[in-house]
Amino acid sequence: MIDADRHAENLARTEIAAVGKSLFDRGLTFGSTGNISVRLEDGGWLMTPTNVSMGALDPARLSRFDGKGNHISGDKPTKESVLHMAMYGQRRDAGAVVHLHSTHSVAVSVIEGIDPLDVLPPLTAYYVMRVGRLPLVPYLPPGDAELALAVEKLAGKHHAVLLANHGPVVAGTTLANAQFATEELEETAKLFLLLRGTAIKPLTPQQVDDLRLRFDLK
């Protein structure tokens, strides 16, 4: 590994640990749930290991994958690594993926009758800008190959999906972008639950289209 690549990888390791601690400290992840990954300049990936709290990540022990998705160093990877690889495989612009079991997002995923093509209404402009349309992936057991295939089918058109009875998987061009989109999703899920039973005024289709055009959203 040349010095520039080594330096970039070390920065990515530090950033993953810092983001993991931030998410954990603010209650967006708990126990050993959730995982983060970052695509490296050599085509490989770093990922948080299995059975480790995101509040206590050791940058030196992150799981390291080569460009073919083989685990080559670091601690044993999470069984949910397949969700990350499904996103990366369909999104060449993805530089990072965040997967959480965040409370409000999971709560929305188990509500009977929500629209599986677009789970949350466009309550705010920033939800439209950071998340957009959010499809629901039907329930399958964690780590199941069929779950990864279900995510893969949606990932080409959606950088964020919600796994039923499980949680969100969100890709971003950078780790910061993936983090911010995941947090926006969670806060919108919280708003949605707070407003249940109340007449609401989400953004109109015209307002959503204007945002998509104004900010070149896909």
Residues tagged active-site: 126
139 burial level (CB within 10 Å; 0-12, 13-18, 19+): middle
Nearest to 42 by CA among 19, 68, 17, 16: 68
Closest CA to 100 of 28, 158, 193: 28
